[in-house]
């Protein structure tokens, strides 16, 4: 595997750089010890004494440290003292040479990198909990890592920017976040990150290079056919290739994602408020409904974002005017103005007659300037602005816009949902279906969340009812007893109180049950998604793993613990 290879690289570099110093020390010490044993000492009782090998080794050793314990075991002869002087100077010079080689080794960038890779792979092997591999630690990766940390999920991060990896040590993550300064598209580094380990749940490729993301995804699929893959892509050619990799592959395009959210806000205004609240963007504004007006819109910048927004608006019959420096006619717009967005082009687009404007260029300063110019002509505009850099957040918040679209945040939040709450996608699909009564169900969900959770921080939690995650549940099912969802939602210490939880979806094999009822019977292998508080999540986990708490929530009475009480309980159950 990768770890022995990295260890052999470290050993090779050490032996290559330290071979000569080590050989020099061995040679000097051997000659010095041999000389001390051969040189005659003083006469004692008419007999010339010579030093033993052990005493010679002992003397040369402490002399090299400049400790100086004196002449032992007997006083030296002048010949021995002369040899000791020669050995002292020679060994000091040799040690200076060896220490210089050690310092040079510690400064060797190849040695430092090989050592960091070996330490990284060793630390990865120590992770026993489920984790994800995150390739790319820019703005998107930083936001995603913070979100995963808040939910208690560990990450292994690979990035080519050494400064970003060093910054990991300065951040107060709640769980271990291991980092490696390396090219994530190299297979060896993916193996070092534990790509083939069982507790590695998915790999996320969110670098700034589309080709690198593609290479990471294809390499990961070859090395581990069962690994989940999430890739950020904004190029259709790359998306087509990724879609054919097989297995679980999710392609995240921030502009398409935002366009879907915008379409949902037009179709069902409550969805936008729910989505913002779940991502903890504005938890105090769960009642705030965004309702983009259907009238004339001006789209400034016809890149990927402008194209996707224009497509959504055209779907609802909205008339759009596009302003862009590139002469690329849109089939979905009746009016296309070639040029930079200025007061002149805004006037030509008849901004005073518009109900909304999109500032969607890749320049933050230009986008803010577009808003100021547009409001000069029409202060009542509904505004959507693209924020490209996270550092400009203060300026955009002060701009008092209706919707701020930051691609890094949109991408990070979408990936976060895919990792921690994969069942959220069918839940949203259900609520946004164009069927009678779905708007009322959306409002019911919002009101239920307001009543249950209120202003507390929402936590999305996915739990699999398996033998590892819900021991008490499986024990009951093995005994042929039914476990009802309504009972699991009761407080394990007071059956008259409900946990601060709202169940969204239950997946049972290939069946999806949205907003299940309390009489739903839990089965082994079911997957449940709920939203609640952190404390309620801990209490729920305690219930499904503790047979006494499960008994109390399901039966309404305390489970007898003594042998006599259990016999009495069984007798009463048969009699009644």
- 6: domain CATH number is 1.10.287
User: DSSP strand E in 325-468: where?
Assistant: 335-338, 356-359, 382-386, 403-405, 459-464
Residues 73 and 141 in one domain: no
326 assigned to some structural domain? no
The CATH number given to whatever domain includes residue 536 is: 3.30.70.1450
339 assigned to some structural domain? no
Determine the pLDDT at residue 137: 92
Range of the domain at 506: 453-575
End-to-end CA distance of the chain: 63
414 assigned to some structural domain? no
Residues 91 and 147 in one domain: no
Residues 52 and 140 in one domain: no
Residues 94 and 172 in one domain: no
Number of structural domains the chain divides into:
3
299 assigned to some structural domain? no
Residues 47 and 150 in one domain: no
Q: 471-478 and 534-545 are packed helices; what angle lies between their axes, rounded to 10 degrees? A: 40
Q: How far apart are CA 128 and CA 108, in angstroms?
A: 33
Q: How far apart are CA 5 and CA 387, in angstroms?
A: 44
Residues 171 and 239 in one domain: yes
Residues 103 and 142 in one domain: no
Choose one of 58, 75, 109: the last residue of a domain: 109
Choose one of 61, 80, 109: the last residue of a domain: 109
Residues 207 and 162 in one domain: yes
Cβ partners under 8 Å of residue 185, min gap 6: 212, 215, 216, 219
Exposed/middle/buried for 412, CB within 10 Å: 0-12, 13-18, 19+?
buried
Determine the pLDDT at residue 216: 92
Residues 191 and 228 in one domain: yes
Q: How far apart are CA 218 and CA 229, in angstroms?
A: 9
Determine the pLDDT at residue 283: 47
410 assigned to some structural domain? no
The CATH number given to whatever domain includes residue 226 is: 3.40.50.720
458 assigned to some structural domain? yes
Mean pLDDT by 10 residues, the chain (576 residues): 52 76 88 88 76 86 72 81 86 86 78 80 90 92 90 92 86 88 90 91 91 91 91 75 77 89 80 79 57 88 89 86 78 74 90 92 91 91 90 85 88 91 89 81 87 86 90 90 91 89 91 92 92 91 89 80 54 54
Q: Can you give the pTM of this predicted structure?
A: 0.78
Choose one of 236, 252, 268: the last residue of a domain: 252
Which CB contacts under 8 angstroms, 24+ apart, belong to 435-443?
438/268, 439/268, 439/270, 441/515, 442/268, 442/270, 442/271, 442/274, 443/270
278 assigned to some structural domain? no
73 assigned to some structural domain? yes
Residues 192 and 236 in one domain: yes
Residues 42 and 147 in one domain: no
Cβ partners under 8 Å of residue 343, min gap 6: 373, 376, 377
Phi, psi dihedrals of residue 332, rounded to the nearest 5°: -100, 10
Which CB contacts under 8 angstroms, 24+ apart, belong to 16-19?
17/101, 17/104, 17/105, 17/108, 17/111, 18/98, 18/101, 18/102, 18/105
Residues 472 and 534 in one domain: yes
């Amino acid at each position: 595997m990768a770890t022995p290879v990295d260890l052999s690289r470290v050993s090779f570099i050490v032996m290559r750089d330290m071979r000569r110093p080590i050989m020099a020390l061995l040679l000097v010490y051997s000659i010095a010890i041999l000389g001390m044993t051969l040189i005659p000492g003083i006469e004692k009782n008419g007999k010339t004494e010579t030093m033993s090998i052990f005493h010679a080794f002992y003397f040369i050793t402490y002399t090299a440290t400049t400790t100086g314990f004196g002449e032992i075991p007997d006083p030296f002869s002048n010949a021995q003292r002369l040899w000791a002087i020669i050995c002292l100077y020679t060994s000091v010079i040799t040690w200076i040479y060896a220490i210089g080689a050690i310092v040079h080794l510690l400064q060797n960038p190849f040695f430092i990198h090989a050592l960091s890779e070996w330490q990284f792979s060793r630390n990865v092997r120590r992770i026993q909990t489920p984790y994800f591999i995150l390739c790319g630690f820019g703005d998107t990766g930083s936001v995603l890592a913070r979100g995963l940390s808040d939910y208690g999920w560990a990450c292994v991060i690979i990035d080519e920017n050494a400064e970003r990896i060093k910054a990991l040590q300065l951040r107060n993550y709640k769980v271990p976040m291991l980092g490696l300064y390396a090219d994530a598209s190299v297979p060896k580094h993916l193996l070092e990150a534990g790509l083939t380990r069982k507790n590695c749940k998915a790999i996320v490729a969110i670098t700034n290079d589309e080709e690198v993301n593609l290479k990471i995804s294809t390499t990961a699929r070859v090395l581990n056919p069962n690994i989940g893959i999430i890739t950020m892509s904004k190029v259709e050619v790359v998306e087509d290739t990724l879609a054919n990799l097989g297995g679980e592959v999710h392609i995240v395009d921030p502009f398409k994602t935002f366009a879907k959210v915008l379409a949902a806000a037009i179709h069902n205004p409550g969805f936008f408020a729910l989505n913002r609240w779940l991502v903890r963007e504005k938890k105090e504004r769960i009642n705030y409904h965004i309702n983009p007006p259907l009238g004339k819109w001006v789209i400034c910048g016809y890149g990927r974002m402008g194209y996707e927004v224009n497509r959504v608006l055209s779907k609802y019959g909205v008339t759009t005017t596009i302003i862009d420096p590139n002469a690329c006619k849109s089939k979905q717009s009746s009016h296309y103005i070639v040029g930079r967005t200025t007061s002149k082009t805004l006037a030509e687009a008849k901004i005073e007659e518009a109900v909304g404007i999109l500032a969607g260029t890749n320049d933050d300063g230009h986008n803010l300037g577009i808003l100021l110019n547009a409001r000069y002509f029409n202060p009542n505009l509904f505004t959507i602005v693209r924020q490209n850099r996270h550092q400009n957040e203060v300026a955009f918040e002060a701009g008092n816009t209706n919707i701020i679209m930051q691609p890094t945040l949109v991408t990070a939040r979408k990936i976060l949902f895919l990792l921690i709450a994969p069942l959220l996608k069918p839940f949203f699909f259900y609520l946004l279906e164009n069927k009678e009564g779905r708007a009322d169900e959306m409002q019911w969900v919002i009101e239920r969340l307001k009543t249950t959770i209120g202003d507390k921080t929402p936590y999305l939690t996915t739990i699999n009812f398996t033998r590892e995650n819900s021991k008490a549940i499986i024990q009951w099912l093995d005994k042929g007893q039914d476990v009802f969802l309504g009972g699991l939602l009761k407080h394990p210490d007071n059956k008259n109180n409900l946990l601060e939880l709202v169940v969204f979806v239950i997946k049972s094999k290939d069946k999806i049950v949205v907003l299940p009822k309390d009489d739903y019977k839990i089965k082994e292998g079911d997957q449940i998604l709920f939203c609640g508080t952190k404390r309620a999540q801990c209490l729920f986990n305690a219930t499904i793993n503790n047979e006494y708490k499960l008994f109390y929530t399901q039966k309404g009475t305390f489970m007898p613990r003594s042998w006599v009480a259990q016999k009495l309980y069984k007798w009463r159950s048969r009699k009644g």
